[in-house]
Amino acid sequence: MVVSPKHIRAFKDEGELEIHWQDGTIHRMSFRFLRGSCPCAGCVNEFTGVRTLDVNSVPETIRPDDVNLSGNYALKFSWNDGHDTGLYTWDYLWELGQSDPSDTAVET
């Protein structure tokens, strides 16, 4: 289990989210990757686990209009394409940070 992040920053001009984790790891993930990885039932079939969102349909210009904490366990994005139902838990964000090919993870 991953602990909560130490620091989170959204770089809207660069199209990236940066997360500083308690262990010193820093993940920078593209907004497009994050939107394409939305875990909600509208983007992933909740019975089969198959992604129903065509990730290639996510525009390069995708940006969050708003990012909020959901309790002390997740982020909730309101995307500029009108989508806002996905909750990105700390564990899920850690997994995404480990798997995003454009991520620039750094150990400090």
Give domain status of residue 87, yes or no: yes
Residue 1: what pLDDT?
Answer: 59
When comparing pLDDT for 25 and 2, which is higher?
A: 25
Structure confidence by residue, pLDDT tens digits, 32-85: 999 999 999 999 999 999 999 999 999 999 999 999 999 999 999 999 999 999
Which range of residues forms the domain containing residue 34?
7-52+62-99
Mean pLDDT for 92-108 is 72
* Structure-derived torsion over alpha carbons of residues 45, 101, 61, 7, reported in degrees to the nearest 10: 90
**Which tops the pLDDT comparison, 93 or 100?**
93
User: For residue 22, what pLDDT is reported?
Assistant: 93
Is 75 within the bounds of a domain? yes
- Whether residue 108 has pLDDT greater than 50: no
Domains of the chain: total: 1
pLDDT-derived band at 103, boundaries 50, 70, 90:
very low
The answer to whether residue 107 sits within a structural domain is no
Domain assignment present for 27: yes
Alpha helices in 1-108 (DSSP H): 31-36, 90-99
Residue 104 falls inside a structural domain:
no
Residue 33 DSSP one-character state: H
Q: What's the CATH number where 69 sits? A: 3.30.2020.30
Report if residue 1 sits inside a domain. Answer: no
Considering the domain boundaries, does residue 57 fall inside one? no
Query: Is 46 within a domain?
Result: yes
pLDDT-wise least confident of 2-6, 62-66, 73-77, 104-108: 104-108
